[in-house]
Amino acid sequence: MNQRTTILEVATAWVLAFLWIAPLAYALWSSLHPAAFATSFSLSAPWTLENFARAWHQAPFGRYYLNTIMLVSLILAGQLVLSTLAAYAFVHFKFRGSGIAFALTLLQLMIMPDVLIVENYRLISKLGLLDTIPAIALPYMASAFAIFLLRQTFKSVPRELIEAARVEGAGALQILWRVYVPLARPTYVAFALVSVSYHWNNFLWPLIVTNSVESRPLTVGLAVFGAPETGVDWSVINAATVMTMAPLLIAFLIFQRQFVQSFMRAGIR
């Protein structure tokens, strides 16, 4: 009975929803219409892809896409491999110092690389990696968060399965690969979605360590492109903005449920 919702409430919920998609809808609309209509709405405005073509030609967005895809893949691959090995060490082996090692790992959940920009920049520069894609990726490749999530999942693997694999003569790495990893698949998917979204969107650290077209990800490319000094008009900037968001947004629209569940499971980004 209390599930009934008044008309007023339904109306408010819808108004809020329209307000919530309006900024995005505006960006999309103006990117698909001539610049003259960026500030004046008209249903009769002609549709065009001209803004996208201009953005694409005025800045190397193709290269930026490639950089972002390489960056996101590199980080994810590193995170998955390193955190799998580390979580396995914490769950499957009893060794002295494991408690302290785990506590030290969790420290990264409190103090993320995002705030240690000064010293991380210094280190990356000492390593001679400035202005490269690995420079953006390295601080994030060992993820305490991934280790934490995988450790939780690995702990729930039934011992019988591990014993059975051992009886069949499987070594430590085979047990990891054949028993733990397949059972942790939902965790891997959830973490991967969160990681890809985070690093596709990440901005400040890439801005700091990159300085050329060859290493800049999309977000930094967009900021450079949209800087007021460049005098590019709004419709073209909006087209570039839409290009930057599009792949993630489309993936989200298709795998909505999966995304929401992953963010929920992951808790913190």
Partner 1 sequence: MTGWAGPRTGSHAWMNAVNAWLLLLPAAVLLVAFTHYPVLATIRSSLFVARRNGTQVFAGLDNYRAMFDDAIFWKALGNNIWFAFGTVPTSIALALLMALWVNRNIRGRGFLRLAYFTPTVLPMIAVANIWLFFYTPDYGLLDQLRALAGSPGWNWLGDPRTVMVCLIVMVIWKEAGFFMIFYLAALQQIPPDLNEAAAVEGAGRLYILRRVTVPLLMPATLFIAINAVINSFKLVDHLVIMTKGGPNNASTLLLYYIYEVAFTFQDSAYAATLTVVLVVILSALALIKFGYFDRRIHYQ
Q: Measured between alpha carbons, how far is 202 from 211 in angstroms, rounded to an integer?
A: 16
Subset of 118-177 contacting partner 1 (CB under 8 A): 118-123, 138-139, 141-142, 144, 147, 152, 159, 162, 172
User: Applying CB under 8 A, which of residues 8, 43, 100, 110 lies at the interface with partner 1?
Assistant: 110
Q: Give the nearest distance from C-beta 120 to partner 1 in angstroms.
A: 6
Which of the ranges 11-19, 49-57, 59-67, 177-185 carries the binding residues for partner 1, by CB under 8 A?
11-19
51 near partner 1, rule: CB under 8 A? no
Subset of 183-212 contacting partner 1 (CB under 8 A): 197, 200-201, 203-204, 207-208
Please give the DSSP secondary-structure letter assigned to residue 128.
Answer: T
Q: Give the nearest distance from C-beta 214 to partner 1 in angstroms.
A: 20
Subset of 250-269 contacting partner 1 (CB under 8 A): 252-253, 256, 259-260, 263-265, 267-269
Tokens encoding 151 = 């450790």
Subset of 65-84 contacting partner 1 (CB under 8 A): 81-83
State which residue, 49 or 256, has the beta carbon closest to partner 1: 256
Q: Measured between alpha carbons, how far is 73 from 75 in angstroms, rounded to an integer?
A: 5
Phi, psi of 120 (to 5 degrees): -65, -35
Phi-psi region of 112 (alpha: psi -120 to 50; beta: other; left: phi over 0): beta
User: Applying CB under 8 A, which of residues 45, 66, 89, 183 lies at the interface with partner 1?
Assistant: 89
14 near partner 1, rule: CB under 8 A? yes
Q: Give the nearest distance from C-beta 61 to partner 1 in angstroms.
A: 13
Let me know: does 86 contact 154? Beta carbons within 8 Å.
no
Q: Give the nearest distance from C-beta 237 to partner 1 in angstroms.
A: 6
User: Applying CB under 8 A, which of residues 35, 69, 70, 101 lies at the interface with partner 1?
Assistant: 101
Provide the CB-side half-sphere exposure for 129 (13 A, CA): 16
Tokens encoding 21 = 């998609």
3-state secondary structure of 47: coil
Subset of 228-247 contacting partner 1 (CB under 8 A): 234, 237-238, 241, 244-245
Chain centroid to Cα 61, Å, comes to 19
- Within 10 angstroms of residue 159's Cβ, the number of other Cβ atoms is 7
Q: Measured between alpha carbons, how far is 70 from 134 in angstroms, rounded to an integer?
A: 9
